[in-house]
Structure formats: C-alpha cells, structure tokens
Structure 1
C-alpha cells in the first residue's frame, strides 16, 4: 500500500458531519415529509400542553382529561383508521405519534392507544355499518370515550379461558363477570367487552348507564398514575343483541385488537427511552463533580453510549415494523419482537438514566422516575414480556410452550 493510498479516506467519510446526539443514525432522513410533519406536530403538542402539567397529574393520580378535545382536534384518535371522521394516516405516522406521546407520558399514549386501537378498531374491523356510523365519528372527535375489556381478576395471559359470559335471552344478551386493569374504564362512555357465548367468544358494545354495568377505579397505583385504570362489573347486564360485533367470532377478535395496541407500544417505548436519554445527557453535561462535568467520566459515557445505541436499534426496529404494516406484510410475531425488545431496553435506559442523575433522578422535577415507573406497567400489559418471549420461541422452534 502506498503512502497516498493509506491517507485516502473512505468515500464520503471526510464530508459527513457529526450526527446529532439524539439521532445518531439520521433516522430523520428515512421519514417522508408527511411523517416528519406528524411527528413534529405531536412533539410540539407534548412540549407545550403535556409536559407542563403531567408531573402534577402523575403525583395526584389524575388523568388530564382537558387534553382530550385537543388530541381529537389534532386527529390523534383513531388516526390510523379510514373514514368515519378518522384521519386515515399510515401506520408509520401513527407509530411516530405514539413515540412522541409517550415521550410525554405513557398514560397519554395509553389513552390514545386504547381509544383508537382497542375501542375504535374493533368497531371499525368487526362492527356493522350502523355501529360504525353511530360510534366512530363521535369517538374520533373525543365526544365518546371507549375502553376494552378482556383481562379478568383470575385470567390474564390465558385470556381464552375467560369467565365472563353472555347468555342469549330473546332479543338481548345477559352478561355476567368482571374485567380488570381496564385503561379508561372509569371515564369511558362505551366498553368493548369480550365474553364467552354458546357459539364462542364474542365482542359487545356496552354503554355506560346500562343496568347491571358498573365500574370501580383502581387506586394506590405507583405506575401509570396519570391514567384511569378500572374494573368493569357485569351483574345480569342486559344489552340488545344488535350491540354484538357481528363480523368476528373467537379469540381472533380480541387478539387482533391487542396486536394493534402492541404495535403502538413498540413505538411508544422509544419515546420514553428517548426522554430519559436526553434528560440524562443534558444533566451529565451540566452537573459538575470533582471540578468537571460528569459527562467527562468514563463510566457516565459508557452509560450514555449504551442508551444511545439501544435507542437507535429500537427506533429502527419500530420503523421497519411500521413499513411492514403499511405494506400489508406484518406478522404478529414481528410485533412481539419489537414490543419485547423496545420495552425491555426502554426500562433499562430509564434505570441507567436515573443512576446518572443520582438523588435528583427520583424527583418529579425530572421525568425519569415517572417514565421508569410507567414502563413497569408497559412491560406487563398487552402481553407480558414472558408471553412475548414464548410467542417468538414458538415461531422460531415450531414448538408451543403453551400446551
């Protein structure tokens, strides 16, 4: 090799500028103009409307319901559905919105996910035209809030063995049972509830105020405090037969809804991770110990590098997931891979970020402990980490650990 050839840089390396610390792989260049616009719009909303109030709501254990009309005005409710007053945006746009909402707080993203993916989606996918016309426009406007009832006090991951039943009685169904850990339950106007019937698991639209239907909120939570979590109770609850979702039977119905929600979680977790990383990076640059910023210390840099690397990987995973969804090529196993990885890494990032902030990391002056506590719930809901591990394990080995 000649002296000249040794000095010649790899093509393009001398021209490339140092990437931003929060976008090491220039993911921004992989997004369309519309996708960037959606991301930036939601990011601005979170910065101006969510972040100034979310710490107080988290501390008080209250949901900022006053933000619902604003989220509806932005088109965030059911934004990935077509028609009926919904924005009809791409899966990637929806994912980017979830990322920015969860950078604010998991409770805010959970509200949007439940409204759009767990309450509106089953009506859109499995409802009658009359049901779609009646409910979807009002839900897109935030005038009607929905929730999704699948999990029960004694039945979580093994949802197929639910105990809630719906018995046909002339022109109505009679529901009996309890659903638990229901986001939005205490403020919902309608509940999409899954119950066992004589011909399999069916979904029902149940309106608040129906005799025999009541809710009770779950208190003393240390996670998702800025979110309403409830139990749904059905005691000989009579609902009209036309409130049953006619186009689906069996567990395919609720599981398809969960896949929609899990998709949003895979994106949302990257927002929580990014918020923790950015906070700890800025803190490390300004916090001085031993007459220098702690960002100079090797151990702190090691933590920041690990967070930055995992953030890039999670964002790339989420983006490819969205591209596959938009192309109609998405398989549920791929959602499990992304949900499992991105939530795991977001939780690790929150813990590493908290260690950089030291004692300051446990106060609500910074968002880290709030995100860390929230992510403990995200780690569990819409399929626990263990369940997603077994889903992936079955896919790659061909052997089921569930039976």
Structure 2
C-alpha cells in the first residue's frame, strides 16, 4: 500500500512539475529525492538502490553538465537538424524577419500573460484628429454623390479631388515636420472607415497613398534629399503617388517578378551618370491613371559590378521613385475593378534612371522586399480592416432600420427567425470588426506587428464579405436595385478587391498566418534555426532543452485544462467573461503543443501542407480575435446589450477554434500523432457549439432598437447627408419613427382588423379621424411614419435615355419613381 501511495505521489509531483514548467535542475532534484525516499522507506533494496543511484548520477551529469551534454546528446541532434532544415530563400527570410511580434506571440506560446492585454492602451484620438473626423471628413462626404461617381462619371468630381488635396487627406501618415498631418494609425483607420461608409471610391483614393506607397517608403527609408524633393508635393497634393508591384506574371508571389533593372551608365539631364536601365509591365495599380510619381519594384542586376561589389551580380528586389512623365514611362489603360477608383497599368521600355532614384539611395539596392513587407504589414492593419469595419457599421445600422420598417405578413421582417439568423450574425460580426479595428490599429501605433496585421486583413475582409452578403439577403430587392438610394451595391461589387489585394486571402490564410506566425511567434523555433545557420552548438543546446521542457509543459497544461473544462486556467478578471479567458488559455496551450508536435513530426513537409497549416493559423487567428473582443468589452460600459454582442463574438470564436482543431486532427497524416493530439486537445471530446439561437436572437432584437451601443458600433457611419443621401434618408426615417411609430402601430392594427374604410392609407386615416378612432395628432404622426416607411422600402427606376447614358435626362427629378405616383396602402 505504501509503495502505491509513493507511486501516486510521485506521479502527481511529476505532473505538477510539468504543469508549472519546472526547470531541469528541479526535476533532477525531485528524482534524487524520490530515490532517497524509496530507500528510507525500505521500498528499494541496497543493490537496487546502488544501481538506480548510479544510473541517476550518470543521467544527472549528462543532462546538467552542459559541455558533456553538448558533446554526447546535442551534437548528433544538431547535425541531423541541420540536414533536415528546409532551405529558406532570401525573400522568405526577409518576410520572416520583417515587422514585430506582439500579442499573437502570447497566444501562440500557450501561456498568455493576460496583464499585457489588460494594460494595453488603445490609441486615443487627439483633439486635432477628432476635429478632422467631425469637420473635414464630414465636408468631404457631403461633396461626394456615390451614385454619380460609380454610374455616371466613373471618377470623383473635380471639387472632391481639390478638397482631398487642400485638406491633406493624402498625407495623413506623413509627419508634421514634413508638412503632413502626422495622424496615428487609429486616426487613419477611423478616417478611412468613415469615408468608406459614404463611398468606396473615395475611401480607396485616400487610403492607398497612406498605405503601401511612396509616402510611407520615403518616411521610413528615403534619403533626406529624396524627402526634400518629394514630400512637399505629396503633402499638398500636387504629386499623386502610386506603387507598381503586381504585374501579369506576379501577384502574391513577388519573387516571380520579371521586371528588370540593369545597372549601367547612361545619359541623364545631359550628363553621363551611373544608373539603371528598366523594363517593366505592371497592372492592378491603384491611382496609376492619375499618378504623377511612381514607386516601382523591380529586380536589380549589376553584371559589371558597377555598384562596387564585384562578387555580387543579382541584388534582388529594389524600389525606386520615378516621375510619371519620365522618358520611356507609359501610363497605360485603365482597369475597372468593381468600383470607380482609379486603377490601371504602367509600362516602361528602356527607361534609364540614376541610381540615386533608388529609395534610400544605392545603399538600399536589393533591400526592396524587406521594405515592402514591413510597410505592407502596417497597411494591412489600417486600410483594409477599415473598409471591412465600414461595411460592418453600415450594415448594422441600416439593416436595423430596414428590418424595423419593412413588413411582410403584417410583421416587421426583423422579427422573423430566419431573418434574425442573418441580422444576429451582422450584429456579432460588426462588434467583432470594431473590436479588431481599434485593437489592431492601436497595435500599429506601438510597433509593426506583421502576423497580427495578416490576421486582421484576412479575417476582417472575410467578415466583410459575410456581412454584406447577409445584408443583401435581408434587404433583398431593395439592395439589388442600383441607384441613388442603394448604399450596399457598390460595397458588394467591390468586396473581391479587398479579398484580393495586399496578399490574396487564400495565400494569407494558407501560407502566411501560421507559416510566418509559427516561426516568428514561437519562443524557440526561429532562434534554433538561426543557431543552426550560424553553426552555434552552444546556443542550440540551450534552446533545444528549453524547447523540450516547453513542449512537455504545454502538453500537460493543455490536457489538464481540457479535462477540467478549463476551470484550472487563469482568468485576469471575474464575472461572466472569466470563463472565456480560461477557455482561451486552454486552447492557447493546445495550439503550442500541436504546433510543436506537428513541426517535429512533419518537419519541412509542413511548408507544402497548406490546408493543415491553415487550420492551425485559424486557431491562432481566432485566439487573437477573441482577445480583441474581450478587450473591447472590458473597455466598454459592460451593459446587458454589450454583453449580448460580446458573448456572440466569443462563442463564435471558440466554436471556430474547436472546428479548426477538429479538422486539423482528423486530417493529420500520421495516425499515432492524431491519437495523441486528440487526447491532449479534446480529452473529453469537442463540446463547443455554434452561437445559440437565443444569443443570436437577442443581438438581432437589439439591432432594431435605439441604444447607446447601436451608436457606438456605428459611430463612424456618415449619417448627415440629408434626405436625398442613401443613408441619410434611412436616418431620417429612423428619427421620425421614434416619435411616430406608436401612432402608426395603432393605425396599422385598426386597418388590419378591418375597422377602417378605404383602399389607400390616406382614405383609411381620414376614416379613423372622422370616426374618432384616432386623434388629429395621431393621424398626422401615422401619415408621417407611413411616408418615411415607404421611402425606406422604395427602389430607384430610370428612363431608357438615362440608362443609355443621357445623364441629363432625369436631372430635374432623379429619384421620383413611378411606384410612388401610384402608391397604395
């Protein structure tokens, strides 16, 4: 019996040491203590104790004397590791090294420090930034008629372009010392979000120069002479920038770029200078048709060693700034990518430029890919997430209006369970988007988080796609009939642009998020790879044994937390959100263990098993998304409505994590590893379900009601366009409803009970008044409500002449419809 107790105590102690991640010397001491205890209790004989002691001493010396350990154990492992270490191209290496790790590293490493999340400060808008939102952004939105931009002119009107230049909308990221606005990433995100609720074309026009482009590249890498030459024009709008990266043969894989620059001597401004002769063909370049300065990415070759390094011929991707009117440069034909923003082609044949036009000067030759990756990471965290958030905020606000006004079978459609499935999802995802927007943009203000911004770009644009599709379904014919009233059609058409640009979503999910995240965020993997490349056995030895302890700890933690239903996990707060923190910690440990086991079993093969790595990337992504939601909830007022939305988002994230793990484990190619991961990740089975109907219905109901949360979740929507603005007319109807809906509900009940005579609303209201069933004020309110109700559900129609291109045919009455002239109840 004593032996059994000792055995159980030993196992319990070992489990506890593994759970807390005890260092090797503690394990060594604990094992020695066990041997002594067994001898003291006469549970082991003298001979057995001597043999066990000798083995213990030998093992203890082997593991704890590092020179001996390196010579006997680590050296053979090191040699094998170097042989199987996958080849890494220079572009892959630069992509891995670019940017910073941030909160996603905490979630990846299996034991997140929640205090870092709770202590993180959102970037507050300055008084200047808030004023810009409230004034300049409002004024710019009022200047823009999105229907005319998209259908008639296929361009922003001259007065809009002029205002953009005058108010420095294209220079938000340029520092004040150079004359720019010097806005924070959070402020830039808010500006783009607001503009996008009015016009996708307007938002894209503003966001591109403030994302990947000459301005940002100059700010980070330009020489002082280049900054002095170009930044003043970029600030005052006399220079319009574009950046040429993609081409017919190159999309997401920039290494396939055929555009070539060869170092040679040539003539420039009448003098013989060292320069580059360029040949290139670019497409999908936003602002190209109106650009005056082109940032160009190309592969640089120096066959004669003219740059000073005779041993180097191929420099790789390089970036230069070229005036659009430079000899040999051709601004080509225009694309039309689902929205009217300027997008087109650029070509160049035998274009000679001085080497000083390389961004950063000749010293930056061949460093273009690193520059692009670092700047692209920041852009992913601002521009495209802002477009997605705009879709979420608009859909949240407008489907609420439409769902309350539109009636089918005498019931507001927002009350139908089938519709609520969509509107609840819109509400939950809109909450998630705003939480991710402010968190990610604030992160960009603190560092350059490359993995986080890839997560934001992929998942937020996918949420955008889902929200817009749901909104289209709810509003049905109201959404598909294009015209001055329609606030969704352009976003629907332009959504594939956001999905495709700055790293196509398929690539981002399948190759980048986990592929980059696993190496950058892991505490040991990238340092081990670096130690192998540097042939540093001492560093590798320390990392290897730290890694072994890390993996054991995360496996034990994941299993223990899974068995306990995450009850043993830590939560940094109390209350109803605490269990979600515990589940996130549990899945964080499970991800760390699964990633380690996967990389250990599959090695370099994992690089080519995209569906597997994508699922682990989904786990990491949802852990980050849930962290954003939890942070946003804790920063808010934490009321009942807030909790309903936060709970929807957190339940959804946990379900997506469990589904990703389940799919990953089921499809893992090694049977024994499948069994181990299933045991560790789901020791009691997968018990995570989709968002419940009850939670979803509560969010769907809240969309239909005025509330502080509704205003906060749609605070960037441009609502002050007036009754002829697509969103403004919905806003007008909403405000009328607050005063008049009760009177209309009374009328509606009387009419449907057959109490009122007449065939039209007007006739029935007169009858109600004449018979004393409604007061004059109620009749007036019911009529006002019915007028805006009809305006909400109405769609545009046009004459044949207008559709054929005669846009002056209906200028005097652009939105009066035949249906309105023949209106009946």
Give your verdict on TM over 0.5: yes
Stretch deviating more after TM superposition (168-177 or 188-197): 168-177
- Please point out which of 446, 449, 454 is paired with 1:336: 454
The answer to which of 84-93 and 281-290 deviates more is 281-290
> Quick one: distance in 2 between partners of 1:137 and 1:250?
23
Q: Quick one: structure 1 residues 331 and 401, their matched pair in 2 at CA, closer, same or farther if it must change by over 3 Å?
A: farther
Contact 1:314 1:338 (8 Å CA) reproduced = no
CA distance 1:46–1:287, shift in 2 (3 Å): farther
Distance verdict in 2 for CA 1:192–1:113, change over 3 Å: same
The equivalences for 1:122-161 within 5 A come to 122-161=217-256
Q: 1:401 to 1:125 in 2, by over 3 A?
A: farther
Matches within 5 A, 1:272-351: 272-328=391-447, 330-351=448-469
Q: Is the 8 A contact 2:378 2:450 kept in 1?
A: no
The answer on 1:382 being equivalent to 2:498 is no
Q: CA deviation at 1:136?
A: 1.1
Residue 400 of structure 1 and its aligned partner are, at CA, apart by 3.7
Q: Which residue of 2 aligns with 1:75?
A: 168
Match of 2:552 in 1: none
Q: Tell me the distance in 2 between the aligned counterparts of 1:81 and 1:236.
A: 32
Aligned to 1:234: 348
Name the structure with the higher strand share. Answer: 1
On the 8 A contact 1:195/1:201 being kept in 2, the answer is: yes
Following the alignment from structure 1 to structure 2, what is the Cα–Cα distance between the partners of residues 61 and 193?
A: 29
Structure number with greater CO (CA < 8 Å, separation at least 6) is 1
* Distance of 2:193 and 2:357 partners within structure 1: 34
> Which of 219, 223, 231 is 2:338 aligned to?
223
Equivalent in 186, 196, 207 of residue 299 of structure 2? 196
SS state at 2:454 partner: helix
Where structure 1 has 5 or more consecutive residues not aligned to the other structure, the ranges are 1-28
Which of 264, 270, 273 lines up with 2:389 in the alignment?
270
Matched, 1:179 2:271: no
Distance verdict in 2 for CA 1:261–1:242, change over 3 Å:
same
CA gap 1:78/1:260 in 2 versus in 1, 3 angstroms: farther
1:401: how far off? 4.5
Given that 1:46 and 1:100 are in contact with CA atoms closer than 8 Å, whether structure 2 keeps it comes out as: no
What residue in structure 2 maps to residue 62 of structure 1?
Answer: 154
**In the aligned structure 1, how far is the partner of 2:609 from the partner of 2:377?**
19
Q: For the pair shown, which has the larger CA radius of gyration, 1 or 2? A: 2
Bigger mean CA deviation after superposition, 181-190 or 166-175: 166-175
When residues 30 and 153 of structure 1 are mapped into structure 2, their CA distance, relative to the original with a 3 A threshold, is closer
CA contact (8 A) 1:178 1:234 kept: yes
Q: Deviations over 1:274-318 (max 9, x none)?
A: 223322221222222222321222222232121111111111111
> 2:376 & 2:609 partners in 1: Cα distance?
18
Q: 1:392 aligns with which of 513, 527, 534?
A: 513
2:617 aligns with none
The two structures have a TM-score, normalised by structure 2, of 0.43
Whole-angstrom CA distance in 2 between matches of 1:222 and 1:182: 11
Q: Distance in 1 between matches of 2:245 and 2:199?
A: 24
The answer (yes or no) to whether the contact 2:288–2:346 under 8 Å persists in 1 is yes
Give the match for residue 8 of structure 1: none
Counterpart residue number, 2:143? 49
Where 2:139 maps in the other structure, the secondary structure is: helix
Instruction: Structure 2: state its 5+ residue gaps.
Output: 1-121, 266-272, 302-314, 520-605, 611-825
Could you tell me whether the CA contact under 8 Å between 1:276 and 1:367 is conserved in 2?
no
Deviation larger for 269-278 or 31-40: 31-40
Matches of residues 8-23 of structure 1 in structure 2 within 5 Å?
none
Closer/same/farther in 2, CA of residues 326 and 38 from structure 1, 3 Å limit: same
Helix, strand or coil at the partner of 2:170: coil
Confirm or deny: 8 A CA contact 2:378 2:449 kept in the other structure.
Answer: no
Contact 2:451–2:517 (CA under 8 A) maintained in structure 1:
no
Change beyond 3 A, Cα 1:286–1:33: farther
> Using a 3 Å threshold, how does the CA distance of structure 1 residues 159 and 395 change in structure 2: closer, same or farther?
closer
Q: Greater helix share, 1 or 2?
A: 2
Once residues 161 and 43 of structure 1 are traced to their aligned partners in structure 2, the CA distance between those partners, rounded to angstroms, is: 40
Aligned position for 1:21: none
Residues matched between the structures, number: 370
Indicate the residue corresponding to 1:99 in structure 2: 193
Q: Deviations over 1:201-251 (max 9, x none)?
A: 2111111221211022334x3512x21111110111122322211263141
Alignment partners' CA distance in 2, 1:60 and 1:213: 30
CA displacement at 1:397 relative to structure 2: 4.0
Maintained 8 Å contact 1:145/1:190? yes
Question: Does the 8 Å contact 1:185/1:217 carry over to 2?
Answer: no
State how far apart, in whole Å, the 2-side matches of 1:274 and 1:54 are: 18
Q: 3-state SS of the aligned residue for 1:86? A: coil
Aligned to 1:213: 329
| Aligned residues of 2:330 and 2:346 also touching (Cα < 8 A) | yes
1:353 is aligned to 471
Question: 1:147, 1:188 within 8 Å by CA — same for their partners in 2?
Answer: yes
Counterparts of 1:293 and 1:384 in 2: how far apart (Å)? Answer: 39
Q: Is the contact made by 1:148 and 1:193 (CA closer than 8 Å) also made in structure 2?
A: yes
User: How many angstroms does 1:46 deviate by?
Assistant: 5.1
- The answer on whether the counterparts of 1:98 and 1:265 sit within 8 Å (CA) in structure 2 is no
The secondary structure found in structure 1 opposite 2:345 is strand
8 Å contact from structure 2 (residues 278, 349) kept in 1: yes
Supply the distance in 1 between the matched residues of 2:352 and 2:512 (Cα, whole angstroms).
37
Residue among 358, 365, 369 paired with 1:244: 358
Q: Is the 8 A contact 1:277 1:350 kept in 2?
A: no
CA separation of 1:65 and 1:134: change in aligned 2, threshold 3 A? farther
Q: Distance in 1 between matches of 2:427 and 2:130?
A: 21
Instruction: Tell me: CA distance 1:109–1:259, structure 2 relative to 1, closer, same or farther (3 Å).
Output: farther
SS in 2 for 1:230: strand
1:153 deviates by 0.5
1:186 shift after superposition: 0.8
Q: TM-score, normalised by structure 1?
A: 0.86
Compare 175-184 and 79-88 and name the one that shifted more: 79-88
CA contact 1:147–1:191 (8 Å) conserved in 2: yes
